[in-house]
Amino acid sequence: MSSPLAVLKLVLSKIPLMISTAVSHVLGLSSTSQKWDLHTAITVNLLREILGNSHRSTVTQQQHRSLRDPGVKGNLWVSRVSLPGPPEDALREALSQAIRALGTGGEEYSLPALETVTAEWTGYRGNVPASEPEPSISEADKYRHLMDETTSNTTIIYFHGGSYYLMDPCSTRGLVSDYARLTGGRVLNVRYRLAPQNPFPAALLDALVVYLSLLYPPEGSLHDPIPASDIVIGGDSSGGNLAAVLLQLLLQLHRSASGGGLPTVMFHGRPVEVPLPAGFALSSASIDLTGSLRSSELHALYDYLPGPPVVPPNPPPCDVWPTDPPRAHFFCEDSAMCHPLVSPLAASSWEGSPPIFVICGEERVADENKVLAQTAAAQGVPIVWEQYEAMPHCFSQLFAGTAVADKSSDNWAAFVKKVTEDPAGVATKGSYIVAKSLDTRPVDVSKLLHVRPGEVLEGMRQARDEFVRKAASGC
């Protein structure tokens, strides 16, 4: 556990970096000074420094730091719930069939057990100061109070980021409570299983359990059945990946349904239909685990994420890493890195999808999001695309309370309300938001990034092979 003294030492060690960054920015010597304010410059440079040294900590230490719960206070309701996995094996079998259908046949994976998924219902709590503590009442009473303050049926399933091995719903409480306030609805902030302890497809199986649990509440649930037309599924970074692969899984279930009707599965003792939700909302989604499109110098200038080549993780050993038997990637077996349910950039079809909102900065994952957006749009999926000039990964969380973060959150929430309240009014639209002024310029979603047919998947496979080679050689 990090002591206050350790935290103080870390802060003090970064003071020279902060001073040099500030001087370069104020004097206009930095290449980003025309696009960023001082706060952005210092924050991004500090994150680059911290992430560059993260390999010095074990995975267990990194997880422990990222899972620390700051508690609940202020203008949000949080009701903690548990959603039991069904006793039948039907969901595991449906997932296994989808993995086989979408893959090449050479992917290795172990099918996880169905487990209880915990989550946090989150809503806006009005008329309380920022210091107001969480009330000492039951989770059921918190949920009733939460629902009393909703003004809309809109329901968001949210998956947090963290590279699939870090963070927790407690990390995104502020963000999702803002979404609840802006939509007038509620958010289910999901605690899916983390790698490397629980590799692919554990998180995806948890996501499917959560979605069906909203449609068909298990016995003892706090919520009533929620129509699919009221549900939007979203996430940031790896959580955006999880939302996208859940969409691919649902689309595959629909493709394989007999007679052209809705797919059905057994869930807690009864056959249930599996409709598609109203929409999906992806923020800085990390949809290519190979990192094959992350070499842009522009994106390197504005982002804090490390650039390519993506290298195998090499932290000090601990109880959870390296795994036994060993593998190169935290999240999945090496052979599965290009599977569409691992890296949805590899998906060939988004046809039939509900509308998708895709938002990112000029960041490392921008190009992979461009490919997803323009591919889906070309296949008839309504796509709302927004890119923010000079902004880094997950900027709306990083710079919460700033004008650029407020604009992105407002637009995210506006999409969610639109697809749940007026789905026929959602049309494909692209926007580029200019730094500082926040002026909006239209862009053609069909021409976001020039790629040849087959080029993306070929590049992903080459990047995967290089990743595996480096792992084998100890690089």
| pLDDT at 475 (0 to 100) | 60
pLDDT, one tens digit per residue, over 432-448 is 999 999 999 999 999 99
Q: Which two tokens stand for residue 207?
A: 């996501």
Do the beta carbons of residue 223 and residue 121 sit within 8 Å? yes
Count Cα neighbours of 43 within 13 Å in the Cβ-side half-sphere. Answer: 16
Q: Which of 441, 359, 354 is nearest to 408 (CA)?
A: 359
Task: Say how far apart CA 362 and CA 298 lie, in whole Å.
Answer: 7
Distances (CA, A) of 176 to 89, 124, 160, 169, 186: 32, 9, 10, 9, 9
**Spans of all domains in the chain:** 4-62, 72-473
Q: Model's pTM, two decimal places?
A: 0.96
pLDDT, one tens digit per residue, over 309-348 is 677 788 999 999 999 888 999 999 999 999 999 999 999 9
Q: Which two tokens stand for residue 108?
A: 């290795």
Task: Say how far apart CA 179 and CA 168 lie, in whole Å.
Answer: 17
| pLDDT at 1 (0 to 100) | 42
DSSP lists the bridge partners of residue 83 as: 117
Q: Which of 333, 211, 332 is nearest to 280 (CA)?
A: 211
Task: Say how far apart CA 430 and CA 394 lie, in whole Å.
Answer: 19
Do the beta carbons of residue 361 and residue 302 sit within 8 Å? yes
Full strand arrangement of the beta sheet holding 356-361: 76-83, 117-124, 186-191, 155-159, 231-236, 279-283, 356-361, 383-388, 429-433, 440-443
Task: Say how far apart CA 228 and CA 155 lie, in whole Å.
Answer: 9
Distances (CA, A) of 6 to 3, 66, 317: 5, 16, 22
Q: Which of 12, 48, 15 is nearest to 32 (CA)?
A: 48
Task: Say how far apart CA 382 and CA 373 lie, in whole Å.
Answer: 9
Domain 72-473 has CATH 3.40.50.1820: yes
Going residue by residue through the chain, which has 475 residues, state the pLDDT in tens, using 9 for 90 and above. 455 566 567 667 788 888 888 888 888 888 899 999 999 999 999 999 888 776 688 999 999 999 999 999 999 999 999 999 999 999 999 999 999 999 999 999 999 999 999 999 999 999 999 999 999 999 999 999 999 999 999 999 999 999 999 999 999 999 999 999 999 999 999 999 999 999 999 999 999 999 999 999 999 999 999 999 999 999 999 999 999 999 999 999 999 998 889 999 999 999 999 999 999 999 999 999 999 999 888 899 999 998 876 777 889 999 999 998 889 999 999 999 999 999 999 999 999 999 999 999 999 999 999 999 999 999 999 999 999 999 999 999 999 999 999 999 999 999 999 999 999 999 999 999 999 999 999 999 999 999 998 999 999 999 999 999 988 877 6
Q: Which of 434, 423, 347, 449 is nearest to 386 (CA)?
A: 434
Do the beta carbons of residue 75 and residue 131 sit within 8 Å? no
> 409 Cβ partners below 8 Å, 6+ apart?
175, 178, 179, 182, 396
